[in-house]
């Protein structure tokens, strides 16, 4: 089935044989591109229900693979079940080099909320739902989502994490990760069983995980920031836009390029429901930041 493309006249050229920005990283025994794709925006408004453009959603996923992306981030709670079924429809049987990362620990309610679902039976059901909807016998990587919609929350993860370890031992999960976790929870998980990534809110303006990122980098563990433009004040947004204007690019491109420069263990999962925007993100993340650019951008977080 052919993939539909937006007109390339106004888009950066990203040939399929061009290396993606940032190179690759190893998650356990899985080699992935540092520039990945987050599937969250493929669901309907509020991450609920089907997309308005079903064929367009399939085209985005196929274009991501055509561009060389080998890291797709998803969750069966998106929709719910929508993004995983789209991924299966668009890409199954999956290329050997493609690795799909999912997460469990939250579900959706009728109001569009994200109530926690971290009891052992809930986690087991979530893992089996992911297996079924993605059409695989084992999941490459499962992140345990902690905290709530307000962010990370203190508390032990032991019971939930040990459940995922059991599922890993049963052969249903290859690698484990954490999402929305505190530094204390990261340390607690490490005392129980190895994991290969931490997925938290982090960007130019929200840098409370700086120390954690550096510590994980020393241990060869990936850090996957979400909301690369989330929580900026108007002043911070203006400072970011000033650098982007000087470079003749978009603020999102500058934010992604800065994250790739921040640390080699940072993996990107920007999301979009548009083929054109996907190609812009890939090309934009490859911009070169000067020392002056970096100094101005670092000041935003301070």
Q: What is the pLDDT of residue 12?
A: 35
Residue 11 has pLDDT above 80, yes or no: no
Average pLDDT over residues 205-229: 97
- What's the pTM? 0.93
State which H helix or E strand residue 141 sits in: strand 139-145
pLDDT tens digits, residue range 246-281?
Answer: 999 999 999 999 999 999 999 999 999 999 999 999
CATH fold, domain 25-232+263-272, is TIM Barrel (3.20.20)
78 is catalytic: yes
Residue scoring higher pLDDT (301 or 206): 206
Residue 6 has pLDDT above 90, yes or no: no
Residue 20 has pLDDT above 80, yes or no: yes
CA-CA distances (angstroms) from residue 178 to 9, 152, 188, 259, 282? Answer: 41, 11, 11, 19, 25
Q: What is the pLDDT of residue 283?
A: 95
Catalytic residue among 37, 78, 161, 223: 78
Q: Do 30 and 174 touch, CB atoms closer than 8 A?
A: yes
Could you tell me which residues are beta bridge partners of residue 232?
none
The domain locations on the chain are 25-232+263-272
Nearest to 258 by CA among 232, 287, 218: 287
Average pLDDT over residues 47-66: 98
What average pLDDT does the chain have? 93
Q: What is the pLDDT of residue 266?
A: 98
Q: How confident is the model at residue 19 (pLDDT cuts 50, 70, 90)?
A: confident
Q: What is the pLDDT of residue 252?
A: 96
Average pLDDT over residues 199-205: 97
Q: What is the pLDDT of residue 302?
A: 78
Please name the residue ranges forming H helices in 12-81: 54-66
Alpha-carbon distance of 35 to 267, in angstroms, equals 6
């Amino acid at each position: 089935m052919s993939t539909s493309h937006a007109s390339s006249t106004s888009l950066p050229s990203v040939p399929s044989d061009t290396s993606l920005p940032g190179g690759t990283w190893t998650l356990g025994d899985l080699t992935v591109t540092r520039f990945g794709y987050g599937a969250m925006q493929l669901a309907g408004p509020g991450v609920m229900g089907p997309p308005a453009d079903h064929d367009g959603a399939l085209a985005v996923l196929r274009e991501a693979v055509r561009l060389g992306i080998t890291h797709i981030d998803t969750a069966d709670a998106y929709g719910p079940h929508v993004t995983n079924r789209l991924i299966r429809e668009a890409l199954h049987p999956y290329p050997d080099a493609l690795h799909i990362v999912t997460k469990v620990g939250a579900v959706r309610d009728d109001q569009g909320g994200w109530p926690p679902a971290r009891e052992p039976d809930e986690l087991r059901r979530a893992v089996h739902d992911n297996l079924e909807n993605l059409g695989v016998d084992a999941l490459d990587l499962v992140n345990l989502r902690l905290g709530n919609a307000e962010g990370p929350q203190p508390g032990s993860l032991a019971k939930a994490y040990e459940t995922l370890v059991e599922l890993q031992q049963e052969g249903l999960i290859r690698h484990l990760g954490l999402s929305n976790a505190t530094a204390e929870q990261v340390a607690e998980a490490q005392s129980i069983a190895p994991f290969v990534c931490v997925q938290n809110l982090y960007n130019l303006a929200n840098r409370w995980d700086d120390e954690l990122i550096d510590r994980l980098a020393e241990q060869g563990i990936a850090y996957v920031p979400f909301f690369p433009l989330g929580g900026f004040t108007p002043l911070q947004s203006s400072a970011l836009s000033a650098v982007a204007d000087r470079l003749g690019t978009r603020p999102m491109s500058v934010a992604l390029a800065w994250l790739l420069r921040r640390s080699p263990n940072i993996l990107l999962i920007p999301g979009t429901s548009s083929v054109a925007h996907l190609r812009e993100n890939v090309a934009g993340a490859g911009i070169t930041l000067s020392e002056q650019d970096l100094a101005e951008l670092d000041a935003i977080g301070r």
